[in-house]
Amino acid sequence: MSRLFNESDSQVLADIIRLRRDVRGNRFNDNPVSDADIDTLLNAAMQAPSVGYSQPWQFVVIRDSSVKQAVQQTFIEANATGSMQFTGDKRAQYDALKLEGILEAPVNLAVFYQPSETAVLGQTSMPEMGKFSVVCAIQNLWLMARSLNIGVGWVSILDPLKVKKALNAPESAELIGYLCIGYVDEFLAEPELKQKGWQQTKSATEVIFKDRFS
Amino acid sequence: MSRLFNESDSQVLADIIRLRRDVRGNRFNDNPVSDADIDTLLNAAMQAPSVGYSQPWQFVVIRDSSVKQAVQQTFIEANATGSMQFTGDKRAQYDALKLEGILEAPVNLAVFYQPSETAVLGQTSMPEMGKFSVVCAIQNLWLMARSLNIGVGWVSILDPLKVKKALNAPESAELIGYLCIGYVDEFLAEPELKQKGWQQTKSATEVIFKDRFS
């Protein structure tokens, strides 16, 4: 018989989900993240669902500061371009936000999708399913990190090709996520972009439909 | 001070992650899934990380059998096409697998990505980030379901445009995942595709690199 979880287990998960945060560079502290910590995180990631059990993920654990610096350089360029998509007060607010913690985080983790050379069960009609499997792995890792009181920030303001170059990645590998990982003194009570008024929380009625779109 | 989780909490999450399964139609039982259950699942989904706090998800909770039947019809077509991508023994094995539970599951859930009409913070260099946020929501939901001993199966052998038509979805919405949800008598000890020898488990050394690709 398979294990049944109880209400207390379910509540623990609900709390981890509710209290998980995206952590920026101004919040990491100096406590070292051990290789054992990283193994625990990657073990959670590798147990994610994957289309056709293809496990199409690759993880690069980065502690080398020269690699971090190269990635931070692409953040700086991409962030300047990103800022220009906003105008007026919104751009001023954008420019005041700290949006990455590449150098501050003791560990960076680049997560790639490695496409299969042969057909993948379940991916024949929806080719993006392989990438989505890699995202499931990242979310597993993020929740596991929060349960260990380790902060994770996902940096997406990057040129993926420049990140690949910095990591000597094969042509075929596709960057899915770039994570900054480290211990923190505190997790914010609410998402930072909500607290700062960048974006409101959507209500359930805005996003949930019954049987079909109305 | 933010909540610190302890070793026991972390172990609960590790167990949920390890024991989560993709559930096919031959495993759902007749226990009803309540609206309260669905609310718990969607609440977990809506607390997922999202790029720029954009929350770009839409959920369609399907109990109507005519909608399920229309979706199952596109599965049948897409599965016939999918099967043809495999040859010999592999095709025979493919054809023997039960790959969906659309009609057997009491609830189906279609999950969409609704692109923003304006720029999204964090999505200016990696446009797929919005879709990835929706996948994070699905993974939150999947883990929460397992903690409630509810099975979830992700069906990706579908023509997304036909699913959109069946659900009267707006042009702009993009199907990310179609989930079959219901109570089960048992969760398999291991992923079914592993048990049946379709695909082996990858080792850590195959997929983890230090600092850069070697």
Structure tokens at A206: 């805005």
CB contact under 8 A, B62 and A148: no
Residues from chain A that touch B138, judged by Cβ atoms under 8 A, are 136
**Model pLDDT for residues B118-164, shown as the tens digit of each residue:** 999 999 999 999 999 999 999 999 999 999 999 999 999 999 999 99
Give strand pairing partners of A178: A110, A155
Minimal Cβ distance to A139: which of B18, B128, B140: B140
User: What pLDDT does residue A2 have?
Assistant: 87
Closest CA to A106 of A33, A54, A186: A33
Describe chain A by its helix, strand, coil percentages, rounded to 5: 40, 15, 40
- Rounded CA Rg of chain B: 19
Shortest Cα distance from B104 to chain A (angstroms)? 16
Instruction: Collect all residues with Cβ–Cβ distance below 8 Å to B145 and sequence separation of at least 6.
Output: B41, B151, B152, B181
Pick the CATH number of A26-186 from 3.90.800.10, 3.40.109.10, 3.30.530.20, 3.40.50.300: 3.40.109.10
Residues from chain B that touch A204, judged by Cβ atoms under 8 A, are 39, 42-43, 46
Give CA–CA dist B61/B42, Å, rounded: 10
Give a three-class secondary structure readout of A57-126: EEEEEECCHHHHHHHHHHHHHHHHHHHCCCCHHHHHHHHHCCCCCCCCCCEEEEEEECCCCCCCCCCCCC
Closest CA to B18 of A19, A45, A124, A98: A45
Q: Is the pLDDT of residue B63 over 80?
A: yes
Structure tokens at A11: 């509540």
A86 close to A117: Cβ distance less than 8 angstroms: no
Burial (0-12, 13-18, 19+ Cβ within 10 Å), A163: buried
Q: Is the pLDDT of residue A20 over 80?
A: yes
Q: Is the pLDDT of residue B214 over 90?
A: no
Minimal Cβ distance to A85: which of B46, B124, B135: B124
Considering chain A, what is the average pLDDT of its residues?
97
Q: Is the pLDDT of residue B183 over 90?
A: yes
Shortest Cα distance from B141 to chain A (angstroms)? 10
Minimal Cβ distance to B211: which of A64, A119, A189: A64
**Pairing between β-strand A174-183 and β-strand B57-62 as defined by DSSP bridges:** unpaired
The per-residue b/e assignment along A26-59, b for 16 or more CB within 10 angstroms, e otherwise, is: ebbeeeebeeebbebbbbbbbbbbbbbbbbbbbb
CB contact under 8 A, A2 and B42: no
Considering chain B, what is the average pLDDT of its residues?
97
User: Other CB atoms closer than 10 Å to residue A137's CB: what's the count?
Assistant: 27
CB contact under 8 A, B147 and A9: yes
- Identify the residue whose tokens are 């080719």: A127
B61 close to B107: Cβ distance less than 8 angstroms: yes
**Model pLDDT for residues B70-121, shown as the tens digit of each residue:** 999 999 999 999 999 999 999 999 999 999 999 999 999 999 999 999 999 9
- Identify the residue whose tokens are 């018989």: A1
**Model pLDDT for residues A47-82, shown as the tens digit of each residue:** 999 999 999 999 999 999 999 999 999 999 999 999
Shortest Cα distance from A140 to chain B (angstroms)? 7
Q: Is the pLDDT of residue A26 over 90?
A: no
**Model pLDDT for residues A94-152, shown as the tens digit of each residue:** 999 999 999 999 999 999 999 999 999 999 999 999 999 999 999 999 999 999 999 99
ipTM: 0.98
CB contact under 8 A, B132 and A135: yes
Q: How confident is the model at residue A157 (pLDDT cuts 50, 70, 90)?
A: very high
What does the pLDDT average to over A188-192?
Answer: 96
Run of H or E residues at B80: helix B65-83
User: What pLDDT does residue B209 have?
Assistant: 98
User: What pLDDT does residue A18 have?
Assistant: 98
Shortest Cα distance from B132 to chain A (angstroms)? 6
User: What pLDDT does residue B122 have?
Assistant: 98
B187 close to B181: Cβ distance less than 8 angstroms: no
- Identify the residue whose tokens are 């960057």: A175
User: What pLDDT does residue A50 have?
Assistant: 98
A·B CB contacts under 8 A: 311
Count Cα neighbours of A173 within 13 Å in the Cβ-side half-sphere. Answer: 22
Q: How confident is the model at residue B25 (pLDDT cuts 50, 70, 90)?
A: confident
- Identify the residue whose tokens are 């910095």: A166
Closest CA to B108 of B152, B169, B166, B50: B152
Structure tokens at A176: 């899915």
User: What pLDDT does residue A25 have?
Assistant: 82
**Pairing between β-strand A107-113 and β-strand A150-155 as defined by DSSP bridges:** unpaired
Pick the CATH number of B22-185 from 3.40.190.10, 3.40.109.10, 3.90.1150.10, 3.40.50.720: 3.40.109.10
Residues from chain B that touch A39, judged by Cβ atoms under 8 A, are 204
User: If you count them, how many residues does chain A have?
Assistant: 214
User: What pLDDT does residue B2 have?
Assistant: 87
Minimal Cβ distance to B53: which of A143, A198, A208: A198
Minimal Cβ distance to B157: which of A57, A122, A132: A122
